[in-house]
């Protein structure tokens, strides 16, 4: 494998993944990203002059953009997606366009080019639905029971990948991961939102009773997992990743408040998210055994690093919040746009 097409590389996990690849491997990388509201060139500012890296602005569902790229690469890692559950509740169509049609277009172009060795599709634990408090964690063999338009669109894209493997022997590997946190996460997601609101003295909106449980994984651990699956995964296989770190939303928020030495009074209980999944947890036995992977960063360390990152990178999130980051693009990347 020499050259990899990474889609959605200007988002949270994709940018962390590209940084890891450039730091630890010799691959050439093409980053295809549409620069939606969640895509930010600034996330890879420090990597933009690396001769092994190239950015292409475009959409994964656009055949004219994708097909020529497939003629140059040996592998695909598909991070590109509409990723936020709340947005999917307000408007589902962009999720179907990118997550379903986009994934199918990537699969078709990959197959037509006929040279790729691995098509790695990055998916989520949300495709399995929700667990009761005494249920065992999700396994790769569990049925798909998605509950939100977002998770339904991701489940559909997983099934399109499965069909490409079964019908055409496209060498698809699917990874499914639990909730990521860490640097460069867009401030609509729970952890960055709570850090930024607490730093700004704003209320912390907690949906429902705050006792919904997520399994938290530090983004670098997930990226290392994706890299293991890319290099060692078997075509047609699904690999679950998780942090083995189940916490209620309130526990997460209280930890952030403790680190920032802020008052619990900032918490405000608000109307619950419709269809809100109660609990996620991942069984990661398979990846421990087959890929020799395990999460390395415990929550205590990961959340302290994350809070510090948001404190040290105020301009990054203040630009996003104020919309000024568009000027940043103009100034630094006129040609790309």
Residue 169, Cβ neighbours under 10 Å: how many? 11
Sheet arrangement for strand 172-177: 53-57, 28-33, 3-7, 75-78, 118-124, 172-177, 238-241
Residue 27 DSSP class: -
Residue 6 contact among ligand DAU, ligand NAD, none, beta carbon within 5 to 8 Å by kind: none
State how far the Cα of 84 lies from the Cα of 193, in Å rounded to an integer: 13
110's tokens: 């990959």
* C-beta of 14 vs 183, nearer to ligand NAD: 14
Residue 66 contact among ligand DAU, ligand NAD, none, beta carbon within 5 to 8 Å by kind: none
Looking at residues 14 to 73 of the shown chain, list those that interact with ligand NAD (rule: CB under 6 A).
Answer: 14, 32-36, 38-39, 59-61
* C-beta of 25 vs 57, nearer to ligand NAD: 57
- 110 in Cβ contact with 170 (< 8 Å): yes
- Catalytic-residue membership of 296: no
Residue 244 binds ligand DAU, judged by CB under 6 A: no
Closest approach of Cβ 35 to ligand DAU, in Å? 18
Residue 125 binds ligand DAU, judged by CB under 6 A: yes
* C-beta of 34 vs 257, nearer to ligand NAD: 34
Which range, of 8-16, 164-172, 298-306, 324-332, touches ligand NAD by CB under 6 A? 8-16
β-bridge mates for residue 5, sequence order: 30, 76
Compute the residue count for the chain.
337
Residues in contact with ligand NAD, shown as a per-residue x/- string from 250 to 289 under the rule CB under 6 A? ----------------------------------------
- Catalytic-residue membership of 50: no
- 6 in Cβ contact with 31 (< 8 Å): yes
Tokens 């640097």 map to which residue? Answer: 183
Strands 172-177 and 118-124: parallel
Residues 6+ apart with CB under 8 A from 45: 332
- Catalytic-residue membership of 126: yes
Residue 79 binds ligand NAD, judged by CB under 6 A: yes
Residue number of the CB closest to ligand NAD reads 11
CB-side exposure of 303: number of CA atoms within 13 Å?
22
Question: Which of 113, 105, 80, 163 is closest to 3 using CA atoms?
Answer: 113
User: Which of 165, 186, 218, 239 is the binder for ligand NAD (CB under 6 A)?
Assistant: 186
> What are the catalytic residues?
125-126, 150
Q: Site residues (CB under 6 A) for ligand NAD?
A: 7-8, 10-14, 32-36, 38-39, 59-61, 79-83, 98, 102, 122, 124, 154, 177, 179-180, 186
């Amino acid at each position: 494998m020499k050259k990899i097409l990474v889609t959605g590389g200007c988002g949270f996990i994709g940018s962390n993944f590209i940084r890891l690849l450039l730091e630890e491997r010799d691959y050439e990388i093409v980053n295809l990203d549409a620069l939606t509201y969640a895509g930010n060139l600034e996330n890879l500012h420090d990597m933009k002059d690396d001769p092994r890296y190239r950015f292409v602005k475009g959409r994964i569902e656009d055949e004219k953009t994708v097909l020529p790229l497939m003629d140059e690469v040996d592998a695909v890692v598909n991070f590109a997606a509409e990723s936020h559950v709340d947005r999917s509740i307000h408007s589902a169509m962009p999720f179907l366009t990118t997550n379903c049609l986009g994934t199918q277009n990537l699969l078709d172009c990959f197959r037509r080019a006929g040279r790729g060795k691995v098509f790695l599709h990055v998916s989520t634990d949300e495709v399995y639905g929700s667990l009761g408090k005494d249920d065992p964690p999700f396994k790769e063999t569990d049925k798909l029971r998605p509950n939100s338009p977002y998770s339904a669109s991701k489940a559909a894209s997983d099934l399109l990948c499965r069909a490409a493997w079964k019908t055409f022997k496209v060498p698809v590997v699917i990874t499914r991961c639990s909730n990521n946190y860490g640097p460069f996460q867009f401030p609509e997601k729970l952890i960055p939102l709570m850090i930024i609101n607490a730093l700004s003295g704003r209320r912390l909106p907690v949906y429902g009773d705050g006792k919904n449980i997520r399994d938290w994984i530090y983004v670098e651990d997930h990226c290392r997992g994706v890299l293991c699956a890319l290099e060692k995964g078997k075509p047609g296989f699904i690999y679950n990743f998780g942090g083995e770190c189940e916490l209620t939303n309130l526990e997460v928020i209280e930890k952030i408040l403790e680190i920032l030495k802020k008052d619990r009074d900032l918490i405000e209980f608000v109307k619950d998210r419709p269809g809100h999944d109660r609990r996620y947890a991942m069984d990661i036995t398979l990846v421990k055994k087959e890929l020799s992977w395990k999460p390395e960063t415990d929550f205590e360390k990961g959340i302290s690093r994350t809070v510090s990152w948001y404190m040290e990178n105020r301009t990054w999130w203040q630009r996003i919040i104020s919309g000024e980051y568009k000027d940043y693009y103009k100034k630094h990347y006129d040609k790309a746009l």
